[in-house]
Amino acid sequence: MRSMIPVKSRIIDIYKETDDIKTFIVEKTIDEDPVPGQFYEIYVRDAGEIPISIASWNDGLIFSVKRVGAVTEKLHKLVKGDYIGLRGPYGNGFPEHRRFTVLIAGGIGLPPARSYIEYWLSKGAKDMQLLYGARTPSDIVYKKLLDYWSNYIDVQITVDRGDSTWDGNVGVVTTIFNRIKNKDADFLIIGPEIMMKFSIIELKKMGVSDDNIYLSMERRMKCGFGICGHCNIGRYYVCKDGPVFRYSTIKDIPEAIH
C-alpha cells in the first residue's frame, strides 16, 4: 500500500503481556496479506504514526507493542472498540524458510519472530529453533505460545536477571548459543543492535558465514515505502529494502550496526 493515508481499523481485543507490553488484535481493513517480518504503520490519534512489526494474522492483525515512546504510550491507553489507523504491509520480510533456521530474538524482537514461526509451522516446517532473551522472567511475552511451540521446535529461553520463580538460564542470549542445534543454518536476529553485534561475533566464531545471518533492522521509518528519507543505511532504505537484511549486504556500512 503506497499511500500516506491510513485506513481506519477497530481494535477487536487487547491482552496485557507484561508491565509494558500489550498485544492488540486489530480489524484487518487492508486486503493485502503480510508475509512474516513485514511491518505496518500504526496511527494513533493525537499522537502520530509508528512502524510496528506484524506478530500474527488471521481474521485480524496482531501486534505486540512495548510502551516506549509518545505514540506507544497513547496506544497503550486505548481500549477495545477504539480505532487506530493502519498502512501497510511494508518491507521485504524474512527470507523464505529453506533449511534449518535459528531465530535469535531479544525482548520485543519476539513478536516478529512469532510471525515467522507460526507461518512456517502452519506449513509443516519443524526444522527451526528459537533462542529468546528477555530482561527478567516477568518480561517474557507469549508464555503459552512458547510452551505450545516447544511441542514442535526447540525453544531456549534466557533472562538477563533471574528471580525466585526462575530456574532457567541467566545471562544474555549469547550465553545459550552452545545450545544451537545446527550451525549449518539460517540465523535470523531480531532485537536491539547491541544484541545483534554480540550475536554476530559469537556466530562468526562458530564459523557461520555472513551470508547466512539475517538482521531485522529498526529505523525511524515514517512512510514505509521509501519516500520520507529517514531510514537510510547507506543506499538502502530499511522500510523497503529491509527491514530484513543479509549481514553480508550491510556489514561494511559504518552506520549499519552502531
Partner 1 sequence: MIYKLKKEFLQEYIDDLIKNYEVWGPKKIGNDVIFSKLEKGSEFTDERTILGPKNFIYPPREKIGEIDDKEVIVIGVKSCDLLGYRMLDDVLGIDPSYAERRKRVHFLNFVCTEPCQYGFCTTFSGPRLMEYEMQFTDIGNYYVIECNNKNLIGKRFEEGGENEIKALEIIMSDFYKKMPPLDVKDLDKKISWNDPKYAEFAKRCISCGACNFACPTCFCFDTYDDNGLYREWDSCILSGFTRMAGNINPRPTLDLRLRQRFMHKLKFHYENFSYYLCTGCGRCIETCPVRIDIRDFIRGV
Q: What are phi and psi of 105, to 5 degrees?
A: -120, 135
- What distance in Å separates the CA atoms of residue 170 and residue 163, rounded to the nearest whole number? 10
SS3 annotation, 198-236: HHHHHHHHCCCCHHHEEEECCCCCCCCCCCCCCCEECCE
Q: Of 80, 126, 179, 230, which one interacts with partner 1 (CB under 8 A)?
A: 230
Q: Of 98, 123, 144, 235, which one interacts with partner 1 (CB under 8 A)?
A: 235
- Judge contact between 220 and 230, C-beta under 8 A: yes
Q: Does 31 bind partner 1 (CB under 8 A)?
A: no
Distance from chain centroid for Cα 112: 3
- Report the residue number, 20 or 154, with the smaller CB distance to partner 1: 20
The grid coordinates of residue 46 equal 493525537
Q: What are phi and psi of 121, to 5 degrees?
A: -60, -40
Q: Which stretch binds partner 1 (CB under 8 A): 113-121, 167-175, 181-189, 216-224?
A: 216-224
- Report the residue number, 47 or 208, with the smaller CB distance to partner 1: 47
Q: Does 5 bind partner 1 (CB under 8 A)?
A: yes
Minimal distance in Å, beta carbon 86 to partner 1?
Answer: 12
- What distance in Å separates the CA atoms of residue 169 and residue 182, rounded to the nearest whole number? 20
Minimal distance in Å, beta carbon 71 to partner 1?
Answer: 8
Closest CA to 111 of 175, 45, 63, 73: 63
The residue with cell 500516506 is 4
Q: Of 80, 135, 220, 248, which one interacts with partner 1 (CB under 8 A)?
A: 220
Exposure pattern of 129-161 as b/e (b: 16+ CB <10 Å)? bbbbbbeebebbbbeebbeebeeebbbbbbbbe
- One-letter amino acid identity for 122? S
Q: Of 183, 222, 246, 251, which one interacts with partner 1 (CB under 8 A)?
A: 222
Q: Of 78, 228, 246, 251, which one interacts with partner 1 (CB under 8 A)?
A: 228
Q: Are strands 186-190 and 101-106 parallel, antiparallel or unpaired?
A: parallel
Q: Does 135 bind partner 1 (CB under 8 A)?
A: no
Minimal distance in Å, beta carbon 68 to partner 1?
Answer: 4
Q: Does 8 bind partner 1 (CB under 8 A)?
A: no
Q: Which stretch binds partner 1 (CB under 8 A): 24-32, 39-47, 146-154, 156-164?
A: 39-47
Minimal distance in Å, beta carbon 234 to partner 1?
Answer: 6
Residues that bind partner 1 (CB under 8 A): 2-6, 43-50, 68-72, 85, 218-220, 222-223, 225-230, 232, 234-235, 254-255, 258
